[in-house]
Amino acid sequence: MGRAPLRVGLLGYGIAGRVFHAPLVAATPGLRLDAVVTRDPERRAQVNAEHPDARVLDDADQLWQAADTVDLVVVATPNRQHVPMARAAVAAGLPVVVDKPLAPTAAEGRALVAEAAAAGVPLTVFQNRRWDGDFLTVRRLVEAGELGRVARFESRFERWRPAIKPGWRESAAPGEAGGALFDLGAHLVDQAVRLFGPVQRVYAEVDRRRPGAEVDDDAFVALTHAGGVRSHLWMSAVTAQLGPRFRVLGDRAAYTSYGLDPQEAALRDGGRPGTPGWGEVDPDRYGGLGADGELRSVPTEAGRYQDFYAQLADALREGAPLPVDPAESVGVVELIELAHQAAAQGVTLPVPPLS
């Protein structure tokens, strides 16, 4: 007989919980969505319809009081609750996944990581866009030397959402960690550091373009990596014509691709990993490699969000490495904080040495 699946308790059933975590957990062998915490009547009905075998709980205290009924907790709450909910999971001795960003401040993130380490409780962060197909393709090309020595990495996560939507993501309260830089930048900064390593200097332009906006909705961040690569990152809600998703310039060739990875849209539409064509893009959306006049189409790797939870299951069962080292996510928050400071002061700031 096979081992019983690891029982997962999910905190929150908004976009993160419902679109990403619940379906990915349900699709992962060795995991079972056992409980969902949400008080909202509409979301409770959605859980019952979409995951009828899962218990629905009113609040997290019910989960902590019955901590022996789950083996893993996923924190998919609004950002302000990431740290307190993760700390409660650690106190209950439960391995925990925290959605990005890990914390509103690097100091809170470092303290949380230290607390989990001291308790011997596994803690990881859902940096799912490490498994975007276009990012996997860029990483493969860079590591294979197809571009030669990379000078500049350009990455854009742009949208056209000129109307302000109500909700915590548009709140200026510091604890909410709202705005484009925390929301989209948490992905773009993480990807840049994964590709090109430690950052020495940060420059940024952070703006509120929409009338009445309380948080940044248009930002540019320039990272100078220790290896000499410069990463130029754009994130925006007010881009009526979208630029390339990736443009990577090397001394041998360049690579350019357009459009977002299809997995989020597929999950929103009810798609699931394991179905035919999952994570794939049409050939007419493949990126181009080479120089102008000598471009060749490069097949985009299939995206694999499901790998996050598959690796996590292996980590908890077999002692394999966690899918994301939480210290790396603390570093991402630190760079986002520095970007906000650099933009406010109109200067380029050095990254402090690790203590």
Mark whether 149 and 206 lie in a shared domain: yes
Residue 263's contacts (CB-CB under 8 Å, 6 or more residues apart) are 132, 133, 278, 279, 303, 305
The CA distances from residue 144 to 31, 61, 147, 285, 348, in Å, are: 34, 49, 8, 22, 32
Last residue of a domain, one of 126, 157, 190: 126
Specify the pLDDT at position 52.
96
Query: Which pair of structure tokens corresponds to residue 64?
Result: 């902590």
Mark whether 142 and 283 lie in a shared domain: yes
Cβ–Cβ < 8 Å for 74, 96: yes
Name the strand (E) or helix (H) holding 55.
strand 55-57
Last residue of a domain, one of 126, 161, 192: 126
Q: Is residue 318 part of a domain?
A: no
Mark whether 165 and 291 lie in a shared domain: yes
Specify the pLDDT at position 348.
98
Residue (of 278, 17, 279, 36) closest to 126 by Cα position: 17
Three-state DSSP class for residue 38: coil
Three-state DSSP class for residue 235: strand
Q: Is residue 210 part of a domain?
A: yes
Q: Is 264 left (phi over 0), alpha (psi -120 to 50) or beta?
A: alpha
Phi and psi at residue 46, to the nearest 5°: -65, -45
Q: What is the span of the domain harbouring residue 231? A: 134-307+335-350
Specify the pLDDT at position 172.
59
106-119 and 82-91 are packed helices; what angle lies between their axes, rounded to 10 degrees? 10
Specify the pLDDT at position 1.
45
Last residue of a domain, one of 126, 158, 188: 126
Specify the pLDDT at position 178.
80
Specify the pLDDT at position 324.
98
Name the strand (E) or helix (H) holding 337.
helix 326-345
Mark whether 169 and 297 lie in a shared domain: yes
Mark whether 256 and 205 lie in a shared domain: yes
Mark whether 112 and 218 lie in a shared domain: no
**What's the CATH code of the domain at 92?**
3.40.50.720
Mark whether 19 and 67 lie in a shared domain: yes
Tally of structural domains, the chain: 2
pLDDT means per 10 residues, the chain with 355 residues, are: 87 96 97 97 96 96 96 96 97 98 96 98 98 98 98 97 76 74 96 98 96 92 98 97 98 98 96 95 97 96 98 97 98 97 97 78
Whole-angstrom distance, CA of residue 224 vs CA of residue 202: 7
Query: Which pair of structure tokens corresponds to residue 48?
Result: 């019952």
Q: Is residue 313 part of a domain?
A: no
Mark whether 147 and 281 lie in a shared domain: yes
This prediction's pTM: 0.95
Query: Which pair of structure tokens corresponds to residue 109?
Result: 């993130």
Mark whether 138 and 222 lie in a shared domain: yes
Mark whether 204 and 342 lie in a shared domain: yes
DSSP category for residue 16: I
Specify the pLDDT at position 165.
78
Mark whether 203 and 280 lie in a shared domain: yes
**What's the CATH code of the domain at 216?**
3.30.360.10
